[in-house]
Amino acid sequence: MNEATTTRTETEQFSIAPATGVGAVHLGVTDGATARDFYRDVVGLAELPAGEDETIAMGAGGEPYVVLHPGADRPVPERTTGLYHLALVLPSRRELARVIGRLMALRYPNSPTDHVMTKSDYLWDPDGNGIEIYCESPEDGEFGFANGMFVARDASGGLRSGRDPIDLDALFDELQPGDALGGPLPEETHMGHVHLHIANLAEAVGFYHGLLGFDIMGVADRWGAAFVSAGGYHHHLGLNTWAGEGAPRAPRTASGLRRYTVELPDEVALGAVLGRLREAETGLDEDDGGANFRDPSGNLVRGQLRATR
């Protein structure tokens, strides 16, 4: 790839459409039935009607958010690029309380974490694919980056770690009598962001910001991470080198990320992104619905129009 095409100049400014977001994440798994049961019974996604191939689509409100590709020959390899986690966002603290309550009732390992601006729970599927389930809580404060590090402050301006355990007593107070812990995730659930293991931070930022047009929300060089987004959201994509600087791609036959989706709001927005990719000679694989392409770390991205919800 020509380095000049991945860095903006003063005369060549552009941003991806503000209504851009992320959609379905496709995952390789070793056993389809085991993975389906996990995403249904543990996470709370619903199985959607089967397509023409052997994949299994799991979603909420009739929309697919996790698509399982059975037949991987091993769990997710460590120290490779790929998925750090996919992140499903819920409409309220009450719904997050229901999820965490279900996980605790099932004794499934999970890590409720208070990021101040969001309340999150982390877990892994049986093959080691990372999952975050969260709700927005901007009334509690904010997080960002400063001096090459992650920084969080509460609503009073006090410095917080941004990685404290959630106050579960307060969270469970959100539950109402009759709330079913085993019920599915609500229709309002959607893919909030995708966090990727990448091989080189500057190269990834150059691609996602300089070429695709996502706005930089923060770069933490000392922390090996960056957040980029559209429309001012805290992040649609997280990028990190925590698997190791220069980490290799995982074997194609292993469990892990098959591809994730960037959803554009209209034909003009999609065409603008694909046009920049064509000009940069990225190896764009186009079809009637959009295009597939790889980032510099080998992560496969699907660019397409956002589904009407």
Asked whether residue 27 is assigned to any structural domain, the reply reads: yes
3-state secondary structure of 229: strand
pLDDT at 244: 98
Asked whether residue 56 is assigned to any structural domain, the reply reads: yes
Q: Output the six-digit token pair for 105.
A: 């009732």
Q: Output the six-digit token pair for 158.
A: 């006090």
Order across the sheet with 56-60: list the strands.
46-47, 56-60, 63-70, 21-29, 256-264, 300-305, 290-294, 285-287
What does the chain come to in residues?
Answer: 309
* Cβ-proximal residues to 271 (8 Å cutoff; 6+ apart), any chain: none
- 197 with 243: CB under 8 angstroms? yes
3-state secondary structure of 76: coil
pLDDT at 308: 63
Asked whether residue 6 is assigned to any structural domain, the reply reads: no
Count of C-beta atoms within a 10 Å radius of residue 201: 19
* Residue written as token pair 């992560």: 299
Asked whether residue 112 is assigned to any structural domain, the reply reads: yes
Asked whether residue 76 is assigned to any structural domain, the reply reads: yes
Asked whether residue 3 is assigned to any structural domain, the reply reads: no
Indicate which CATH number applies to the domain containing 149. 3.10.180.10
pTM: 0.94
Number of independent structural domains in the chain: 1
Q: Which domain holds residue 28?
A: 20-200+219-226+234-267+283-305
Asked whether residue 15 is assigned to any structural domain, the reply reads: no
Half-sphere exposure for 243 (CA within 13 Å, toward CB): 25
Asked whether residue 208 is assigned to any structural domain, the reply reads: no
Each residue's pLDDT tens digit, 235-267 = 999 999 999 999 999 999 999 999 999 999 999
pLDDT in tens for each of the 309 residues of the chain?
Answer: 333 334 444 335 689 999 999 999 999 999 999 999 999 999 999 999 987 789 999 999 999 999 999 999 999 999 999 999 999 999 999 999 999 999 999 999 999 999 999 999 999 999 999 999 999 999 999 999 988 899 999 999 999 999 999 999 999 999 999 999 999 999 999 999 999 999 999 999 999 999 999 999 999 999 999 999 999 999 999 999 999 999 999 999 999 999 999 999 999 999 999 999 999 999 999 999 999 999 999 999 999 999 765
